């Protein structure tokens, strides 16, 4: 492969926000038909660098070249006009539009061009064909706002590949995908390579990169610390470059302890989502919840918390029947839910870190009718220190924190609320290796302190490394319970995908091992 005439080049890009340097002279060169991995911890500058390329931010210094010619992008439309499309980690879809309308937004096929009448039949048919070619099982007429996080990710991927002519940037594209969906994405990426497109792929999942990457650039603290061919250095060396230190224990050991059942779910049912679910979780125990997209995992934990209605069954907390579940009652009885989509359903993005941390238990900060701000800041500083949240500023707007630090804020919220049962839905989604290790240590500390933890995850190594037991859902039913220390990824997937057929099952297993 020749790299003499790169599809795009970013030279010595510098960017600061409010006097804080985010990028300090970063360069990146990507050839046509190449997958270039861009890795680094949360806050290393990866997404900012790509937003400069996409025209969202303008650099303070440096230049961008497309096929050797200098260009200047002052808005995203400029980047798209030059064939550069980006799949953002935080999705940018229009929730009130359909899948097809989002894919072809701004490029809708017209029936009467002079009148601007959209040919919806053709648009839906073209979208259906694209989704079928990519192996994505989506209805082009479905409203995006009603889709799961994983399905919204597939729509974003499809839209970007339609827009891209020279380069497509993928920022954590598999963060909410199942193994099967990820394998379909890798197949699509190989096809993009054959078509001569440059692909910049940002991911914290190094096993993903083994399947597709040609070269790698590593950022740390806004600087380029390594660039080379993929495979020249080991995963351990990549992590050391990312973190500037060794991370010997990604899944830290946990002292074995099992107390009384703090959470018991009996015959919980919600039509069309899940049926007849029964399980319990004991003090000191981490129970994993596995399954393919659409299995009903998120809907189940939301119903346990009371965020979505259940039509039958009972939930017991600390031996007390929850009754008609509601989030307020669940929180008062010691139940906390860390939601799958932290930005959409978890955080108040425009509020301070301190307000987000104390939100679920704000009543203890109120005297009379007045919020005691000093006590709020003191409480926030305590959890900032305990969870190593960075930067350690209680007044920092939470929307400006990295993904890993946002997850720690949500975990801190439920600690401040004195929760004893934690429902963690994809707790490390979009989080780098070092921050993941910190979250795992925090989860272990919860269990060692007598809490009960349910961990929903699409990352099977995570479940095998963290859970004591793994419950497996398939099509809304609980189909298996496995000892996490004695099972394998293949066995989990066999139960999760039993009805998908042997061929589909083998693809999903191969994508993990």
pLDDT tens-place string over residues 243-283: 776 656 678 888 877 899 999 999 999 998 999 999 999 99
Q: Residue 33: which residues within 8 A CB-CB, separation 6 or more?
A: 1, 193, 194, 196, 197, 198
Same domain for 238 and 323, yes or no, is: no
Q: Determine the pLDDT at residue 510.
A: 32
Domain assignment of residue 392, yes or no: no
Q: Which of 139, 138, 93 is nearest to 344 (CA)?
A: 93
Q: Determine the pLDDT at residue 111.
A: 82
Of 87-91, 133-137, 155-159, 445-449, the poorest mean pLDDT is in 87-91
Q: Which of 179, 134, 178 is nearest to 156 (CA)?
A: 134
Same domain for 75 and 24, yes or no, is: yes
Same domain for 23 and 146, yes or no, is: yes
Same domain for 213 and 286, yes or no, is: no
The helix/strand/coil state of 490 is helix
**Could you list the residue range(s) of the whole structural domain that residue 445 is in?**
261-348+418-512
Q: 243, 274, 303: which is the final residue of a domain?
A: 243
Domain assignment of residue 373, yes or no: no
Domain assignment of residue 1, yes or no: no
- Asked whether residue 17 carries a pLDDT value surpassing 60, the answer given is yes
Q: What percent of the chain has pLDDT over 70?
A: 94
- Asked whether residue 512 carries a pLDDT value surpassing 50, the answer given is no
- Asked whether residue 204 carries a pLDDT value surpassing 90, the answer given is no
pLDDT (tens digit per residue) in 404-428: 889 999 999 999 999 999 999 999 8
Q: Which of 254, 246, 199, 151 is nearest to 8 (CA)?
A: 199
Same domain for 51 and 192, yes or no, is: yes
pLDDT (tens digit per residue) in 97-121: 999 999 998 888 888 766 778 899 9
pLDDT (tens digit per residue) in 481-499: 999 999 998 899 889 876 4
Same domain for 34 and 114, yes or no, is: yes
Residue 385 vs residues 42, 178, 241, 388, 400: alpha-carbon distances, Å: 18, 34, 25, 5, 18
Label residue 502 exposed, middle or buried (CB < 10 Å: 0-12, 13-18, 19+).
Answer: exposed
Decide if 492 contacts 337 (C-beta within 8 A): no
Decide if 42 contacts 405 (C-beta within 8 A): yes
Cis peptide before 391 (omega within 30 of 0): yes
Q: Which residues pair with 149 in a beta bridge?
A: none
pLDDT (tens digit per residue) in 274-318: 999 999 999 999 999 999 877 899 999 999 999 998 999 999 998
Same domain for 191 and 77, yes or no, is: yes
Instruction: Provide the token pair at 296.
Output: 């009903």
Q: Residue 364: which residues within 8 A CB-CB, separation 6 or more?
A: none
Same domain for 190 and 273, yes or no, is: no
Q: What percent of the chain has pLDDT over 90?
A: 54
Q: Determine the pLDDT at residue 511.
A: 31
pTM, 2 dp? 0.68
Same domain for 212 and 275, yes or no, is: no
Which pLDDT band, with edges at 50, 70 and 90, does 5 fall under? low
Q: What is the mean pLDDT of residues 8-27?
A: 91
Q: Which of 22, 20, 6 is nearest to 62 (CA)?
A: 22
Q: 208, 243, 278: which is the final residue of a domain?
A: 243
- Asked whether residue 231 carries a pLDDT value surpassing 70, the answer given is yes
The span from the CA of 65 to the CA of 27, in Å, is 11
Which pLDDT band, with edges at 50, 70 and 90, does 501 fall under? very low
Domain assignment of residue 164, yes or no: yes
Domain assignment of residue 357, yes or no: no
Same domain for 461 and 316, yes or no, is: yes
The mean predicted confidence, pLDDT, of the chain is 88
The span from the CA of 250 to the CA of 241, in Å, is 16
Domain assignment of residue 410, yes or no: no
Domain assignment of residue 340, yes or no: yes
Which pLDDT band, with edges at 50, 70 and 90, does 91 fall under? low
Sheet with 223-229: list strands edge to edge.
Answer: 84-87, 167-171, 198-202, 35-39, 215-220, 223-229
Domain assignment of residue 368, yes or no: no
φ and ψ at 135, to 5 degrees? 80, 20
Q: Measured between alpha carbons, how far apart are the two ends of the chain, in Å?
A: 28
- Asked whether residue 59 carries a pLDDT value surpassing 70, the answer given is yes
Q: Determine the pLDDT at residue 500.
A: 42
Of 140-144, 178-182, 429-433, 499-503, the poorest mean pLDDT is in 499-503
Q: Determine the pLDDT at residue 278.
A: 97
Instruction: Count the domains in the chain.
Output: 2
The span from the CA of 298 to the CA of 340, in Å, is 7
Sheet with 469-474: list strands edge to edge.
Answer: 335-338, 421-425, 452-456, 286-290, 469-474, 477-483
Segment of 117-121, 195-199, 214-218 carrying the highest mean pLDDT: 214-218
Q: Determine the pLDDT at residue 11.
A: 96
Which pLDDT band, with edges at 50, 70 and 90, does 1 fall under? very low
What CATH number is associated with residue 454? 3.40.50.300
- Asked whether residue 507 carries a pLDDT value surpassing 80, the answer given is no
Q: Residue 181: which residues within 8 A CB-CB, separation 6 or more?
A: 136, 150, 154, 174, 293
Which pLDDT band, with edges at 50, 70 and 90, does 89 fall under? low
Q: Which of 42, 153, 71, 119 is nearest to 400 (CA)?
A: 42
DSSP string for residues in 438-461: HHHHHHHHHHHTT-EEEEE-S-HH
Q: What is the mean pLDDT of residues 433-445?
A: 86
Q: Determine the pLDDT at residue 498.
A: 65
Same domain for 180 and 299, yes or no, is: no
Same domain for 33 and 133, yes or no, is: yes
Q: Determine the pLDDT at residue 411.
A: 92
Q: Determine the pLDDT at residue 246.
A: 63
């Amino acid at each position: 492969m020749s790299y003499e005439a790169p599809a795009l080049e970013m030279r010595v890009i510098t960017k600061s926000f409010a006097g804080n340097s985010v990028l300090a002279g970063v360069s990146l060169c990507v050839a046509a038909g190449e997958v270039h991995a861009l890795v680094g911890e949360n806050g290393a500058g990866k997404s900012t660098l790509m937003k400069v390329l996409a025209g969202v931010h303008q650099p303070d210094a440096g230049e961008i070249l497309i096929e050797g010619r200098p260009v200047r992008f002052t808005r995203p439309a400029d980047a798209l006009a030059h064939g550069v499309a980006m799949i953002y980690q935080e999705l940018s879809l229009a929730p009130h539009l359909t899948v097809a309308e989002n894919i072809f937004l701004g490029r809708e096929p017209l029936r009467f061009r002079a009148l601007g009448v959209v040919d919806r039949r053709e648009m839906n048919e073209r979208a259906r064909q694209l989704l079928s070619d990519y192996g994505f099982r989506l209805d082009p007429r479905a409203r995006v706002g009603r889709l799961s996080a994983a399905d919204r990710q597939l729509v974003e991927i499809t839209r970007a590949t339609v827009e891209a002519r020279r380069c497509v940037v993928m920022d954590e594209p598999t963060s909410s995908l199942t193994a099967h969906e990820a394998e379909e994405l890798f197949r699509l990426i190989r096809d993009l390579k054959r078509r001569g497109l440059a692909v910049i792929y940002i991911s914290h999942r190094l096993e993903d990169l083994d399947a597709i990457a040609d070269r790698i650039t590593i950022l740390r603290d806004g600087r380029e610390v390594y660039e080379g061919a993929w495979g020249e250095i080991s995963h351990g060396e990549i992590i050391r470059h990312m973190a500037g230190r060794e991370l010997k224990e990604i899944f830290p050991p946990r002292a074995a302890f099992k107390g009384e059942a703090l959470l018991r779910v009996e015959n919980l049912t919600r039509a069309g989502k899940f049926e007849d679910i029964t399980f319990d979780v004991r003090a000191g125990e981490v129970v994993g919840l596995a399954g393919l997209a659409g299995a009903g995992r998120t809907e189940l934990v939301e119903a346990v918390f009371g965020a979505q209605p259940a039509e039958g069954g009972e939930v017991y907390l600390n031996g007390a029947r929850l009754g008609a579940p509601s989030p307020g009652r669940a929180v008062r009885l010691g139940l906390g839910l860390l939601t799958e989509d932290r930005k959409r359903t978890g955080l108040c993005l425009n509020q301070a870190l301190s307000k987000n941390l104390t939100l679920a238990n704000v009543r203890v900060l109120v005297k009379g009718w007045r919020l005691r701000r000093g006590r709020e800041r003191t409480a926030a500083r305590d959890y900032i220190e305990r969870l190593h949240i960075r930067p350690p500023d209680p007044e920092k707007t939470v929307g400006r924190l990295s993904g890993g630090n946002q997850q720690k804020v949500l975990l801190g919220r439920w600690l401040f609320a004195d929760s004893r049962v934690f429902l963690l839905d994809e707790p490390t989604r979009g989080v780098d290796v070092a921050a993941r290790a910190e979250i795992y240590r925090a989860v272990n500390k919860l269990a060692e302190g007598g809490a009960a933890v349910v961990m929903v995850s699409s990352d099977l190594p995570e479940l095998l490394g963290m859970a004591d037991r793994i419950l497996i859902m398939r099509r809304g039913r609980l189909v298996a319970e496995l000892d996490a220390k004695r099972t394998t990824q293949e066995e989990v997937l066999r139960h999760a995908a039993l009805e998908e057929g042997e061929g589909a099952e083998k693809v999903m297993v191969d994508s993990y091992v």
